[in-house]
Amino acid sequence: MSEPFRWPGVVKLIHWSVVVLFFSNQFLFGGGSQYHTYAGWGILLLVCLRLLYGMTFAKTPARLRDICFSIKGVEHHLQELKEGNYQPHGHNPLGAMAVWFMWTMLLLCAFTGWLQDTDFGLEQGVYEWHSLLVNSLFYFIGIHLLAIVITSLFSRKNLVKSML
């Protein structure tokens, strides 16, 4: 029997660090506080490190070129789930789409957070954009968690275990 799939330690460390900083920023650190700013910069740094790792040292399936999606790939994935043939080894096409969306949203959250500290940002209502992005990301995190549970149930594989 083969070993169950596990994400590389670097990927897990970055993932859980972003999770802790993102939720700390929402529930522990007040918006505009020094800690909130540091956590935002930390998230930005971690996402950039993950992208850099994915372009350089990462092995399959953590390489950026392996995190891709297509309509055909989604159809194939759904068929695998339906037939019970899904063997997780990295992100499925829907998961890949979610990863790119979350990285983009996190980068936009960091950018709009920084922009609030500029004269331009305050004049252009960037606070509202920042809040909208953060709130949207919270909803998407809920969808992400639900998708993991549903995919785990359909595939009879513990996908959470691969990130622990």
- DSSP per-residue codes, 29-96: SPTTSHHHHHHHHHHHHHHHHHHHHHHTT--TTSSGGGS---HHHHHHHHHHHHHT----SS--HHHH
Neighbours of 121 (CB within 10 A): 18
Contacts of 135 (CB under 8 A, 6+ apart): none
Q: What pLDDT sits at residue 2?
A: 45
- DSSP per-residue codes, 93-153: HHHHHHHHHHHHHHHHHHHHHHHTTSHHHHHTTHHHHHHHHHHHHHHHHHHHHHHHHHHHH
CA angle, corner 12, sides to 11 and 13, nearest 5? 95
Distance (Å, whole) CA 31 – CA 42: 15
Q: What is the pLDDT along the chain (164 residues), one digit of tens a residue?
A: 345 678 899 999 999 999 999 999 999 998 889 999 999 999 999 999 999 999 999 998 999 999 988 899 889 888 888 887 777 788 889 999 999 999 999 999 999 999 887 777 666 788 899 999 999 999 999 999 999 998 888 877 788 888 88
Q: Taking the model in full, what pTM does it have?
A: 0.89
- 8 Å CB contact between 55 and 4: no
Q: What pLDDT sits at residue 23?
A: 96
- 8 Å CB contact between 93 and 101: no
Q: What pLDDT sits at residue 4?
A: 65
